[in-house]
A and B are shown apart, each in its own frame.
Chain A
């Protein structure tokens, strides 16, 4: 597929002053998230075609038997041209997906595109099944899943077993992204145990580790002045976890939001300012300069850590390019996690 067409049409670039990937454009005709939404499961695991954008976003920190670390990403995006679903080629729903495997020395990427309405891609809530082509995340329920994807030079097949509850970000899953009140519905399952195989050009590797699944949908998740975000999902050796996000504006100071997750699954949401992230080191990658070492703090929890990319070259050379890869955490808390940076 022509990368430029996708990038220009579905996801206008930040240069158009509409925020990263068109998320700042206004939501005429689409439903907007509202506070106090009561989630219904399993239905809300499925798609919401009246919202403009939605994703099923899985990242995993894995290691081989010899301790070699790997990161893995699987994302299914739904982007609606109009706020409804229809049968056949008339469907205004467009699906695309990204898959990647990252090691210290390699970053392998693949992407897929599909039209809605014909069965090439979609999500059903019960039993849970999210698919595009031969890529698939499915299982009897949301806690017991299997994940598969293949690219020209890699493949993976993981079993995922949830060890804790769903976590709702912001105000009970209503996650505010800007001063102006742009928001999304956002919840996660950060407690997956994962095991399976990764196929690399060098051969098949048995891996084990943890995985974090994000669910988010909105019609205008960024304010028009916002150009991108830095998103951290960190799992500490203590068993606690942190989701921290930093929405960058063209002029204003970044807007931040965070969720602290205890090992028992209880969580605390933090509003703008509580969480900070400050770039320490930049890397030239994909023709851009991207920060790949950060100082991350959440003073309320005594957190002050350095977050460093396992592979600073983990750039997603997809139609909509961005940086996404596994990180190591050192400082007041040690651990690992994933970092996503868009709009650079």
Chain B
């Protein structure tokens, strides 16, 4: 019996291959977007973990010298001879011909297990590692290094952009002879150890953190991506829900027949569930494979984004990890089950001999619509409440969720209302029929239209955010990149004396990595001249911030630092042990992930005498002349000099790469929505013949009917677009004013881009027209005999 029933069930798909394709493609697309995003997140997390593992960051307590300084190797001996079980680490950047890499020098005998293992791959060659220390790096970095610095060992588990080697070799490569960057405090310490102050008073103990700084910084970014993935999945689920709903509705007749022939209801339901499970597994597998392709295509840009935003390095290639493909499959099955439950519920309650009315499904009752409206109102109210009382990233995403789902649920009732209004205002019978028929078709199309609404709103929202960001960022670059030439040199004094006569202003850049208000941050010493005073715009400031900073009596901080630490103008900030300065201003800073504070150059030099500036901004009337002089007369290499234009172009290029991912996901989501409309129309078309036949019989030509069908799709899409724009703007506002502040630490002004929205609406209308084109064409070519048959069946 099972076999016969299964064959009967399967025959439906055989007769409707397109519907089968819809179902599988919808599930696969939804899974692909979701698992692609998860694969990217998993890869990034693995990179952070590798970094934490190979660099020992976050997992162990560390002893750090004062900001910007290194410790003498004698301090290492003093610590060990006092019983302190610590392992020395040397860390710095090594310039190679094709870019710079981070060199981490370890002492494998004393390093914690994970780090030592990372440094000595293959488990075997500690003796070799000590006698002729190799550089251990991921394959791409290993290729970049070549053989110029001795043997190179490839090991994919080493953090991206990082080279591990023995401490002695690292000291030589970096020019850090006899110096140590930091000490890792090992887990097991002996009894009777003297306090740190008595052994190494210059060091500060930094406790281990739950995760690395990088992981915490980037959490919000990944939450963003995950939200995007979920949105895509939700859109995909609309398709699946629609396809499954239709398929079951069309099989009502078959269900009735099978039950009449004696197949028990339970068994029938079990068989249908099994059938869908198989389909979902197949679609899920296809989706996971597609997700892999999406991740592989997008990961390089994501890696660039994360490096640009957070300075963290992420591997550029995707590995197949169970955490994402399993979650992809699980969510596919879950989504399919959700869609199936509804359909099975209805079949279970259907009287055994109920008339298999084909339109029954589409004509969802008024009760369901009332529920939907109530849910929409509830969700939108919740969104409003969250705007007022919500706090934090999760609340912001909850707000987004309520807003989007609420709006989607509100769409059908609102559209129905509008169509009723239109119907009342028309006099011509044909048009009255058109509006009434459109309204009646709404229920069948509503899921696809909801998907379209969400996709368009996401498009409007994200593009508004990105464009607003671009405008702000460009202005910011104009403010910041005011110098004509930027020069990197190790010999600050020579450059300054050489360039002084040819420049109107020299702006050295010197900084230390430190912790401000307990957060990782950079502290800069600036020579405050006309450029700073004229160009920099503050978000908030005292009356004369630059005067106070120049006198050494105040500090200015970037918005990230101010927001994350809760410090604002008028509060004080400790820039060094025992040096507290009032904050005179908060400046916008969109090129930098972490906190930044600026003090005057003399104060900086007094606090950090070891740090000398290595980068300079030069202002001059004749940049090309100065450039030539720097190369020819001072002997600087060409590569050490960058002009303003090139730097701006580079910064903008980084910016554009940053948002490639958002753009790509946007297009994919929109494509999914278009597909949903197409499929809905296609499946509805055949079922609608009984409605169209009378109109045809009254004298309307098939071609006219087809044109009306096309028009209907365009009208519905247009109405949806009209609703999508304000929804998208609300989305943009949440992203800019709430999510960005939490995720990146800055609040951006919102700009509107009406032309963009028009273009998007145009694209959506064209997409809707295209989606309707084929069904309309089929209608135009429906043989009159088919239309006549409708009447024959009624007899």
Residues of chain A at the chain B interface (Cβ within 8 Å): 1-2, 4-6, 8-10, 81-82, 88-90, 92, 94, 96, 110, 113-115, 118-120, 131, 133-134, 150-155, 199
A113: chain B residues at CB < 8 Å are 109-110
Number of A-B residue pairs having CB atoms within 8 Å of each other in the complex: 89
CA distance A165 to B73 in the complex (A): 41
A205 to chain B, nearest CB (A): 14
Q: Are A89 and B168 touching (Cβ within 8 A)?
A: yes
Q: Are A114 and B80 touching (Cβ within 8 A)?
A: yes
Q: List 17 A-B contacts (CB under 8 A).
A: A1-B116, A2-B117, A5-B108, A5-B123, A6-B126, A9-B124, A9-B125, A89-B167, A89-B171, A90-B168, A115-B109, A118-B77, A120-B80, A133-B80, A133-B83, A134-B83, A199-B191
B190: chain A residues at CB < 8 Å are 110, 134, 150-152, 155
Residues of chain B in range 81-137 having any CB-CB distance to chain A below 8 Å: 81-83, 85, 107-111, 113, 116-117, 120, 123-127, 130-131
Q: Are B80 and A150 touching (Cβ within 8 A)?
A: no
A131: chain B residues at CB < 8 Å are 81
Q: Are B191 and A114 touching (Cβ within 8 A)?
A: no
Q: Are B192 and A150 touching (Cβ within 8 A)?
A: yes
A134: chain B residues at CB < 8 Å are 80-83, 190
Top 5 A-B pairs, shortest CB-CB distance = A89-B168, A9-B126, A150-B190, A134-B83, A113-B109
A323 to chain B, nearest CB (A): 22
Q: 12 additional contacts, CB 8 Å, given A9-B126, A133-B83, A150-B191?
A: A1-B110, A2-B116, A5-B108, A5-B117, A5-B126, A8-B123, A113-B109, A115-B107, A118-B76, A120-B76, A151-B191, A154-B191
Q: Are B127 and A9 touching (Cβ within 8 A)?
A: yes
Q: Are A88 and B77 touching (Cβ within 8 A)?
A: no
Q: Are A81 and B191 touching (Cβ within 8 A)?
A: no
B166: chain A residues at CB < 8 Å are 89
A169 to chain B, nearest CB (A): 30
B76: chain A residues at CB < 8 Å are 118, 120
CA distance A9 to B113 in the complex (A): 15
Q: Are B131 and A92 touching (Cβ within 8 A)?
A: yes
CA distance A214 to B43 in the complex (A): 55
CA distance A94 to B111 in the complex (A): 14
Q: Which of A2, A92, A118, A152 sits near B191, CB closer than 8 Å?
A: A152
CA distance A81 to B124 in the complex (A): 14
Q: Are B77 and A119 touching (Cβ within 8 A)?
A: yes
B168: chain A residues at CB < 8 Å are 88-90
A154: chain B residues at CB < 8 Å are 191
Q: Which of B77, B113, B167, B169 sits near A1, CB closer than 8 Å?
A: B113
CA distance A217 to B109 in the complex (A): 22
Q: Are B124 and A2 touching (Cβ within 8 A)?
A: no
B241 to chain A, nearest CB (A): 54
B127: chain A residues at CB < 8 Å are 9-10, 81
A94: chain B residues at CB < 8 Å are 109, 130
B82: chain A residues at CB < 8 Å are 134
Q: Are A152 and B124 touching (Cβ within 8 A)?
A: no
B653 within 8 A of A: no
Contact flags B11-46 to A (C-beta < 8 A → 1, else 0): 000000000000000000000000000000000000
Q: Are A155 and B124 touching (Cβ within 8 A)?
A: no
A269 to chain B, nearest CB (A): 35
For B187, the closest partner residue in chain A by CB is: A152
Q: Which of B77, B130, B191 sits near A155, CB closer than 8 Å?
A: B191
For A151, the closest partner residue in chain B by CB is: B190
Q: Which of B110, B131, B193 sits near A81, CB closer than 8 Å?
A: B131
A5: chain B residues at CB < 8 Å are 108, 116-117, 120, 123, 126
Q: Are A155 and B73 touching (Cβ within 8 A)?
A: no
Q: Which of A8, A120, A150 sits near B77, CB closer than 8 Å?
A: A120
Q: Are A8 and B191 touching (Cβ within 8 A)?
A: no
Query: Interface centre among B109, B189, B193, by most A CB within 10 Å?
Result: B109
B188 within 8 A of A: yes
* A10 and B126 in contact, given A89-B167, A114-B109, A150-B191 (Cβ under 8 angstroms): yes
Residues of chain B in range 48-94 having any CB-CB distance to chain A below 8 Å: 73, 76-77, 80-83, 85
For A88, the closest partner residue in chain B by CB is: B168
B113: chain A residues at CB < 8 Å are 1-2
B126: chain A residues at CB < 8 Å are 5-6, 8-10
B108: chain A residues at CB < 8 Å are 1, 5
A8: chain B residues at CB < 8 Å are 123-124, 126
A211 to chain B, nearest CB (A): 21
A10: chain B residues at CB < 8 Å are 126-127
CA distance A261 to B126 in the complex (A): 41
Residues of chain B in range 149-169 having any CB-CB distance to chain A below 8 Å: 166-169
CA distance A131 to B123 in the complex (A): 29
For B133, the closest partner residue in chain A by CB is: A89
Q: Are A118 and B73 touching (Cβ within 8 A)?
A: yes
CA distance A6 to B190 in the complex (A): 21
Q: Which of B107, B110, B125, B189 sits near A152, CB closer than 8 Å?
A: B189
B75 to chain A, nearest CB (A): 12
B406 to chain A, nearest CB (A): 56
For A133, the closest partner residue in chain B by CB is: B80
Query: Interface centre among A81, A89, A92, A119, by most B CB within 10 Å?
Result: A89
Q: Are B109 and A92 touching (Cβ within 8 A)?
A: no
Residues of chain B in range 580-631 having any CB-CB distance to chain A below 8 Å: none
B109 to chain A, nearest CB (A): 4
B492 to chain A, nearest CB (A): 30
Residues of chain B in range 162-207 having any CB-CB distance to chain A below 8 Å: 166-169, 171, 188-193
Q: Are A133 and B73 touching (Cβ within 8 A)?
A: no
B73: chain A residues at CB < 8 Å are 118
B117: chain A residues at CB < 8 Å are 2, 5
For B114, the closest partner residue in chain A by CB is: A2
A119: chain B residues at CB < 8 Å are 77
B85: chain A residues at CB < 8 Å are 133
CA distance A118 to B171 in the complex (A): 14
CA distance A325 to B250 in the complex (A): 83
For B172, the closest partner residue in chain A by CB is: A89
Query: Interface centre among A6, A82, A113, A134, by most B CB within 10 Å?
Result: A134
